[in-house]
Amino acid sequence: MSAKRLSQKTVAVHAGSRLVGSTSQPLVPAIHMSTVGWFDSSDELDGALDGKDYVYSRISAQNTSLLEESVAALEGAEACVSYASGMAALRAVFDAQNLKPGDRVVMPGDGYGVTRLLFKTLCARAGVELHPLVLSDSQAPERLVALAPKFVLAESITNPLLSVPDLRVLAKACRQVGAALAVDGTFPSPYGQRALSLGADYAIQSATKWLNGHSDALAGTVSGSRERLAPLRSMRLLAGDVLGPFEAWLTQRGLRTLPVRMKAHNEHAAHVARRLAESPLLERVYYPGLSSHPHHAVAREVLEGGFGPMVAFDIKGAGRPEGYRFLEALKLARPGPSLGDVCTLVMHAASASARRMTPEERAAAGIGESLIRVSVGLEDPEDIVEDLLAAVAQGVKR
């Protein structure tokens, strides 16, 4: 007796759902778009619901697991947890500290403005004291010990002023008072600095930037010990701030070329910084690789493979109108509020990365209306220089 012929409606749902008979291994990881998996064995299904296999992508998913394995290896970490954005990663680390009213948190006073607003909001809700400090200052370790915070966030290279704190001495101060140290290492990427090896407890990346490298996916990662990351993974399951499979795939696609790209980005940034430093139209050039940079000696010791792919400068005598005219005069570089692409991205710092800071906070950090931040791309570095200087001249023209 022949098997019953299935309805077209049934065939449409179930046909083509399994690859049978192939032992091929794809060179590029597949994109696993299904949010749900199923098993022939109920015991296997039961185990998967505890995270032993892939059954529901809020619990675990193939592409995020592959990305986390890759980032953990690059960071020199036991484990990694991925998120839908870098800000979600920062929020997760903050929440994992279980801070109580009266506890103290330290963060960079000259760092990313949106991070500052996030921490101000979270600390206010929790009744926690927030202390912004310039962590590259030589007195910062002593101030940390005096404050005795429970949690410290540092930036490997600050956004947008490119200060470089000595993570080794900050980590020592944190251990002295029992504070957890998290480091946002987005600017140098794991190619340029592995913060965990310098004493950090958490290494955070906005993977949207250099890890992805192509401005086509939002992602964030936190790397560290399995013990430190266990509560983050558990809370991600409940909060649902998971990274989608396509974004995970795109980010892993990008990081496969991370060392090659970052070597070129760093070399190009060094060339651009040296050439900009010669211009009479610029008040100051910020780049850790310049001997004139106040943290050049520290940068030589805590950064690997170069001094980073970011450059900043102050246009002499400029305010916001001149800064905007500069952006509009660019022909090659693109005005954009991000970084990490193969093309050069430029922004007016006070109106972009520091936009969420108050004027008083920007003034205290030294972020003026003349400050321009550059994410140096893979174009010929001399072409980048010529475009920047021509736009500066156009911007300040009366």
pLDDT in tens, 31-85: 999 999 999 999 999 999 998 999 999 999 999 999 999 999 999 999 999 999 9
Q: Which residues contact 315 (CB under 8 A, 6 or more apart)?
A: 281, 282, 283, 322, 323, 326, 370, 372, 392, 395, 396
Note whether 250 and 302 are same-domain residues. Answer: no
> Are 353 and 113 contacting, i.e. CB atoms less than 8 angstroms apart?
yes
d(CA 12, CA 52): 30
Of residues 103, 110, 166, 184, which has the active-site annotation?
184
Catalytic entry in 83, 103, 104, 112: 112
Same domain, 95 and 224: yes
Give the chain's domain count: 2
Q: Which domain holds residue 233?
A: 43-255
Q: Is 213 domain-assigned?
A: yes
> Which residues, other chains included, contact 230 with Cβ-Cβ below 8 Å and sequence gap of 6+?
none
Domain boundary among 255, 273, 300: 255
Asked about 263 being catalytic, the answer comes back as no
Instruction: Tell me, yes or no, whether 250 and 267 share the same domain.
Output: no
Contact by Cβ (8 Å): 158, 130:
no
Q: Which residues contact 188 (CB under 8 A, 6 or more apart)?
A: 156, 157, 303, 308
- Residues 226, 280, single domain; the answer is no
Are residues 174 and 144 in contact, defined by beta-carbon separation less than 8 angstroms? yes
Q: For position 65, what pLDDT does the model report?
A: 94
Domain CATH number, residue 109: 3.40.640.10
pLDDT score recorded for residue 220: 98
Same domain for 277 and 240: no
Burial of 23 (0-12, 13-18, 19+ CB in 10 A): exposed
The answer to whether 269 and 309 have CB atoms below 8 angstroms apart is: yes
Residues 89 and 233 occupy one common structural domain: yes
Distance CA 223, CA 89 (A): 10
Q: What is the CATH number of the domain that holds 312?
A: 3.90.1150.10
Q: Residues 337, 375, 275, 371: is their CA dihedral positive or negative? A: positive
Report the C-alpha gap between 389 and 57 in whole angstroms: 48
Note the pLDDT tens digit of each residue in 345-381: 999 998 888 788 888 888 888 888 999 999 999 999 9
Residues of the chain with pLDDT under 50: 1
Instruction: Specify whether 112 is catalytic.
Output: yes
Is the entire prediction scored with pTM above 0.85? yes
Final residue of a structural domain among 222, 255, 288: 255
Q: How far apart are CA 372 and CA 255, in angstroms?
A: 27
Answer yes or no: 184 catalytic.
yes
Record the tokens describing residue 12, joined without a space: 């449409």
Q: What is the pLDDT of residue 350?
A: 85
| Same domain flag for 47 and 180 | yes
Question: Which residue among the candidates 116, 209, 236, 373 is catalytic per the annotation?
Answer: 209
Where among 255, 275, 305 does a domain terminate? 255
Instruction: Tell me if 132 is assigned to some domain.
Output: yes
Check whether residue 169 and residue 92 sit in a common domain. yes
Of 366, 372, 272, 365, nearest in space to 322 by CA:
372
Does the annotation mark 58 as catalytic? yes
| In a domain? residue 178 | yes
Are 233 and 281 in a shared domain?
Answer: no
d(CA 184, CA 179): 16
- Structural Rg of the chain based on CA atoms: 23
Residues 189, 108, single domain; the answer is: yes
> Does one domain contain both 93 and 224?
yes
* 326 and 192 within one domain: no
* Contact call for residues 154 and 183 (beta carbons, < 8 A): yes
Q: Tell me which of 46, 52, 58, 256 is the catalytic residue.
A: 58
Q: How far is CA 150 from the centre of its chain?
A: 23
Does residue 358 sit in helix, strand or coil? Answer: coil
